[in-house]
Chains A and B, each alone.
Chain A
Amino acid sequence: DQQVKQNSPSLSVQEGRISILNCDYTNSMFDYFLWYKKYPAEGPTFLISISSIKDKNEDGRFTVFLNKSAKHLSLHIVPSQPGDSAVYFCAASARGGATNKLIFGTGTLLAVQP
């Protein structure tokens, strides 16, 4: 049973508009959430994270929102640029344990059209 779900396998957005990528999780013990971006033939690159004590974290064009009651997080990219076209993975962990075990979603392929 997947604990982290990204239900949209792909998303297409016009350049300059907002991209919204969604992620749902089932484990209430998760307290740290991350977004990674992956280009073809490269490893995932860390993008932004959020702790469960916050509901929003912003870094430049990227903002992550966390709704703990709904067990839902989203990544907003504004404005979207063609270079943002990549696969975006959501990941979650329960920190404070012996290991930092990240549970990943299946990813969403974002295509930003010029």
Chain B
Amino acid sequence: ETGVTQTPRHLVMGMTNKKSLKCEQHLGHNAMYWYKQSAKKPLELMFVYSLEERVENNSVPSRFSPECPNSSHLFLHLHTLQPEDSALYLCASSRSGSTDTQYFGPGTRLTVL
């Protein structure tokens, strides 16, 4: 399998649930990103990991918790979300954290009831 994959593709969860989104990149990249895309809004950067270290946290609420166990995998742990957190969550990767083009996965469509 090539490129950037994300699972699940669709997720419906209640406000009291705990779930995790998974991202895997098969491109040999060293940097990984989480973005949020809400309706009629630009993609918003949430987190950046470079060489497995979190180098940016864009003022994201603590109910979103990222984890990067190695350079190929990135998780986004979700707990006690709100309905306004419903959005498309996109993962991306790049060769380095500072200069290279980012390549995106297909996204997880999250609905919080």
Chain B residues within an 8 Å CB radius of A99: 31, 48, 50, 55-56, 97-98
| Contacts A99-B55, A106-B40 given; does A43 touch B105 at CB 8 Å | yes
* Interface bin, chain B: 20 to 34
Closest to A32 in B: B99
Q: Tell me which of A42, A91, A100, A106 contacts B106 (CB under 8 A).
A: A42
Task: Tally A-B pairs: CB < 8 A.
Answer: 68
Q: Does B45 reach chain A (CB closer than 8 Å)?
A: yes
Q: Tell me which of B45, B98, B104 contacts A44 (CB under 8 A).
A: B104
| Contacts A44-B90, A89-B43 given; does A96 touch B102 at CB 8 Å | no
B42 close to A4 (CB less than 8 A): yes
* B-contact bits for A6-48, CB 8 A (1 contact / 0 none): 0000000000000000000000000010101000011111100
Q: Does A81 reach chain B (CB closer than 8 Å)?
A: no
Chain A residues within an 8 Å CB radius of B55: 98-99
What is the minimal beta-carbon distance from B48 to any residue of chain A, in angstroms? 5
Chain B residues within an 8 Å CB radius of A89: 42-43
A102 close to B40 (CB less than 8 A): no
* 26 A-B contact pairs sorted by A residue (CB < 8 Å): A2-B42, A41-B106, A43-B104, A43-B105, A43-B107, A45-B104, A46-B102, A46-B103, A91-B43, A95-B98, A98-B97, A98-B98, A99-B31, A99-B50, A99-B56, A99-B97, A99-B98, A100-B94, A100-B97, A100-B98, A100-B99, A100-B100, A102-B102, A104-B43, A106-B41, A106-B42
Interface residues of B (CB under 8 A from A): 4, 6, 31, 40-43, 45, 48, 50, 55-56, 90, 92, 94, 96-107
Interface residues of A (CB under 8 A from B): 2, 4, 32, 34, 36, 41-46, 49, 89, 91, 95-107
